[in-house]
Amino acid sequence: MAYALLGLVMTMTSLLPAQQAEPVKQERKDAQVGMQQTPSDMRPEAGGGELTGALADPKSFKIGAEDVIGVRVWKEPELSGDFVVRPDGKITLNLVGEVEVAGLTPMEVQQKLTGEFGKVLNSPVVSVQMRAIRSSKYYITGNVGRTGMFPLVVKTTVLEALTLAGGLGEWANKKKIVILRGKERLFFNYTEVIKGKKTEQNIEVQNGDFIIVD
């Protein structure tokens, strides 16, 4: 009888670690999933969202204030990270301090940072990528599929912009779409353009444009 009770206690004891370990495994699994997820403000979204650097040409896109750039220094995690470009066009990095990046392409910033880190490190390997585009954008409002702010990363015509916004609504005024550009009021006739007429109306969208669809 004593041997039976002892065996039962040992069996129950052997089960306890497995029962306690399960929540730990789940927490680790949840943490791994969380690390794999992209922060909501970095996901590519049309209308009210931002765009990752996936579509930004590293050789031509000009970085501006409020953009987020990712700097990676190989084997130097404490020097790496995502940095928001300040209104003065600079970012601050460990070891090298303030660096002006506004007006440069990601490739130019990469070369510049390689030189800066090269003053304090031996042959640093630096990579620079766009994480979020906030400096160049346009807005669409009115009778379209999705309204809001749209990042302007590549050359985009008015027709392309309207398509990215989910197209015109059923009751939209297709013949008199207005583009506000500073003090200018430009007009776009959707019906004519899709028929191949007066295609000069299909201008490229510029930073800060407001496209209004009644």
pLDDT of residue 89: 98
Whether residue 106 contacts residue 129, with contact meaning beta carbons closer than 8 Å, is answered with yes
**Homologous superfamily, domain 137-213:** Outer membrane lipoprotein wza domain like (3.10.560.10)
Strands 210-213 and 137-142: parallel
The superfamily CATH assigns to domain 53-132 is: wza like domain (3.30.1950.10)
So what's the pLDDT on residue 43? Answer: 34
**What residue segments make up the domains of the chain, in order of their start?**
53-132, 137-213
Could you tell me the pTM of the whole model?
0.66
Q: What is the pLDDT of residues 37-55, one digit of tens each?
A: 333 333 334 444 455 566 7
> Considering the chain, what is the average pLDDT of its residues?
82
- Where are the strands (E) in the chain, listed by range? 68-73, 81-84, 90-93, 97-100, 126-132, 137-142, 148-151, 177-181, 184-188, 210-213
> Are 144 and 178 within 8 A, CB to CB?
no
pLDDT at position 86:
97
**158-202 per-position pLDDT tens digit:** 999 999 999 999 999 999 999 999 999 999 999 999 999 999 999
Least confident of 35-44, 85-94, 104-113, 148-157: 35-44
